[in-house]
């Protein structure tokens, strides 16, 4: 990622330190914590990372402690309800808990002026439930309106939310359409203010999800009522996304790729309801077969645990 000239979005001081150990410049790391003790922000300042402030408490403590010597980005909660958006995206920006509420921006301005805080960027927390490019454009308009009253703003950070397709027919943001939606409001802002903004995104999963595969072996085949179940030697302790997010991951039988198809459930080895997939059509699966669970490169190993005292999986880089 460093060779591709990317920066890092870190949400804990430990991630900041990992980034520095990997050779990233501190100025290429933006630290966006929420609900952590303020001393984590102080450690990030000492290390030279950029700060993304998401509540009034942090903002006031930053002003009191550093009196304008430390610039920051503000994470804003836009409170938008977008009727034209589809599915869960329509009220995402209302449900989200991240950022300074728009109703509190007057107080935020008071703190900024009181302590002469230099706000160099505006940030919004986006989610992968957003699949409509126009939603990003609507949030960009909110941030651009705020930027007019903050003369030091040079960065517009629209967060994450750009996901890769997980199925052949998956809908996902069209990057060309997204660029087209954002170009006009950014150019209009530049003409009106004389300020050219940098546009930042944090598309971590988009970049790395398809780079990871979780390999698991079938330990046992069994029948329960009318269900055929393949019990495998992994589970939500190693890939929690299906359990936590009801996420779909394509699964391949790489031991028998050309076999006749059967509909099966694939269950993990924990003493819990631990289904990785239900009623999935796969080439015939037998005990000892090796299955490949795709798109495990994001929120896979990094969210793994040692639940049931089972060890973490081996991770091999190719």
CATH of the domain at 114: 3.20.20.10
**One domain, residues 254 and 280:** yes
Rounded to whole angstroms, the Cα distance separating 222 from 124 reads: 47
pLDDT of residue 83: 47
Which of 207, 226, 259 marks a domain boundary? 207
User: Can you give the CATH number for the domain in which 256 is found?
Assistant: 2.40.37.10
SS3 258: coil
Secondary structure (DSSP) of 273-292: --EEEEEEEEE---TT-EEE
Residue listed under structure tokens 């631990």:
274
At 102 the three-state DSSP class reads helix
Which two structure tokens, joined as six digits, stand for 175? 């990057």
Residue 190, in any domain of the structure: yes
How far is residue 240's CA from residue 142's CA, in Å, rounded to a whole number?
34
Which parts of the chain sit beneath pLDDT 70? Answer: 80-94, 127-132, 171-172
The pTM for the full model equals: 0.88
Domain count of the chain?
Answer: 2
Identified catalytic residue from 72, 211, 269, 271: 271
- 269 has catalytic annotation: no
**What's the pLDDT at 88?**
54
C-alpha–C-alpha distance, residues 154 and 200, integer Å:
11
Give yes or no: residues 291 and 154 share one domain. no
Rounded Cα distance, 103 and 179, in Å: 29
State the CB neighbour count (10 A cutoff) for residue 123. Answer: 26
In the chain, helix, strand, coil percent, each to 5?
35, 20, 45
Summarised one tens digit per residue, pLDDT across range 165-203 is 777 777 667 788 888 889 999 999 999 999 999 999 998
- Given 207, 240, 261, the domain boundary residue is 207
User: Assign residue 278 a region: left if phi > 0, alpha if psi is -120 to 50, beta otherwise?
Assistant: beta
Find the domain containing 77 and state its range.
54-207
Tell me the sheet residues that pair with 122.
Answer: 74, 156
pLDDT at 130: 59
Is residue 170 situated within a structural domain? yes
As to burial, measured by CB atoms within 10 angstroms (0-12 exposed, 13-18 middle, 19+ buried), residue 216 is buried
Instruction: Assess if residue 316 is contained within a domain.
Output: no
CA distance 101 to 59: 13
In eight-state DSSP terms, residue 47 is H
CA atoms lying within 13 Å on the CB side of residue 265: 16
Query: Given 163, 188, 207, which residue is the final one in a domain?
Result: 207
Q: How far is Cα 196 from Cα 189, in angstroms, rounded to an integer?
A: 8
275-294 pLDDT tens trace? 999 999 999 999 999 999 99
Residue 161 in any domain: the answer is yes
71 and 195 within one domain: yes
Pairwise CA distance, residues 31 & 16, whole Å: 7
């Amino acid at each position: 990622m460093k060779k591709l000239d990317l920066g890092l979005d870190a949400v804990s001081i430990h991630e900041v330190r990992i980034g520095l150990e990997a050779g990233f410049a501190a100025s290429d790391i933006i630290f966006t914590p929420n609900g952590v003790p303020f001393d984590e922000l102080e450690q990030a300042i000492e290390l030279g990372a950029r700060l993304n402030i998401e509540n009034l408490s942090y903002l006031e403590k930053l002003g009191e402690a550093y009196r304008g010597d430390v610039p920051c980005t503000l994470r804003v909660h836009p409170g938008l309800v977008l009727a034209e958006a589809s599915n869960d995206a329509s009220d995402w920006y209302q449900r989200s808990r991240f950022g300074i509420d728009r109703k509190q921006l007057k107080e935020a301005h008071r703190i900024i002026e009181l302590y002469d805080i230099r706000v160099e960027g505006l940030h919004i927390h986006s989610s992968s439930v957003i699949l409509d490019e126009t939603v990003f454009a609507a949030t960009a308009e909110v941030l651009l309106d705020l930027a007019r009253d903050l003369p030091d703003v040079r960065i517009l950070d629209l967060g994450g939310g750009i996901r890769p397709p997980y199925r052949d027919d998956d809908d996902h943001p069209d990057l060309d359409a997204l660029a087209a939606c954002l170009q006009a409001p950014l150019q209009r802002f530049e003409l009106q203010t004389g300020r050219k903004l940098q546009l930042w995104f944090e598309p971590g999963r988009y970049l790395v999800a398809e780079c990871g595969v979780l390999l698991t072996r079938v330990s046992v085949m069994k029948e329960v009522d009318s269900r055929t179940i393949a019990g495998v030697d992994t589970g939500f302790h190693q890939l929690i996304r299906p359990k936590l997010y009801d996420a779909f991951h394509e699964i391949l039988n790489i031991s028998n790729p050309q076999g006749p198809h059967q509909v099966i459930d694939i269950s993990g080895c924990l003493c819990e309801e631990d289904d990785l997939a239900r009623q999935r059509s796969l080439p015939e699966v037998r005990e000892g077969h090796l299955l490949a669970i795709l798109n495990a490169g994001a929120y896979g190993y990094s969210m793994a645990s040692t639940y049931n005292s089972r060890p973490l999986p081996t991770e091999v880089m190719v």
